[in-house]
Structure 1
Amino acid sequence: MTSAGPEGGGREVHDPAEPSFGRWLELLANSDRRLVLSTLLENGDDRLPVGVLTDVIARERPEDVTPQSVLIDLHHVHLPKLQRADVIEYDADESLVTYRGHEDLERCLAAIEDLAAD
């Protein structure tokens, strides 16, 4: 997905020392993080409540996984990891997540989703 800068009216693409391809693969290795990113991309530029992301992931997981355990994993593992990689903005106090826009990451995610669909 190509993102235009602010002048083009699209999502701003960040490039603070763009992580390597291997770093993108590490971030995308986890299915919950892929679901978070896919959901944020589908949502566009809006901030999403962590509860929405929790519900999306809980629907995809086995029945023995509770929304509470998904929320704990998001809060303590996945969202901080994505934030450290400068992929998202995570406001833990407000429980809101915003995707920051990374073209290379989006291409990797699309390729992984295409392979998984086959």
Structure 2
Amino acid sequence: MSQTTYNISTETALHLVANQRRRSVLTQLIESERNDVALDELAEHLSPENPPPGPGETMSSERLLLDLYHNHLPKLEEAGLVEYDDRTETVRYHPNDHVEKLHQFVTTELE
């Protein structure tokens, strides 16, 4: 795993925290005391907290894992906030003050 630090633009940071599921992932990663969090732990944390994707729909654990793996984690990884290790199925968070400040504002003031 690399140790690259990314400068994240305000537009990218806004895009990342605009989605409730990504905010929940970021919350868990920011608050975690461990360096790496298992993908299924993230999914477990999200399932009771996130509303269904649409009216009358439910999201199974498997679908949630797929959504994280194919949709949300790649966006966070592209921005340099996380690294996903396929071998161990863990997510490593790389702190970013800019994103964390915006995340805190959105979660405390706007939700």
Within 5 A, what are the aligned runs for 1:1-118? Answer: 15-16=5-6, 18-62=7-51, 64-117=58-111
**1:14–1:102 contact (8 Å) kept in structure 2:** no
**1:89–1:98 contact (8 Å) kept in structure 2:** yes
- Give identity over the alignment, percent: 29
Q: Normalising by structure 2, report the TM-score.
A: 0.85
Q: Gapped runs of 5+ residues in structure 1?
A: 1-12
Give the CA deviation at 1:14.
6.2
RMSD over equivalenced CA pairs, Å: 1.8
Q: Normalising by structure 1, report the TM-score.
A: 0.80
Runs (4+) of structure 1 exceeding 6 A deviation are: none
Distance 2:70 2:92 in 1: 17
Higher RCO, 1 or 2 (CA under 8 Å, sep at least 6)?
A: 2
Alignment size in residue pairs: 104
Q: Gapped runs of 5+ residues in structure 2?
A: 53-57
* Secondary structure in 2 matching 1:82: helix
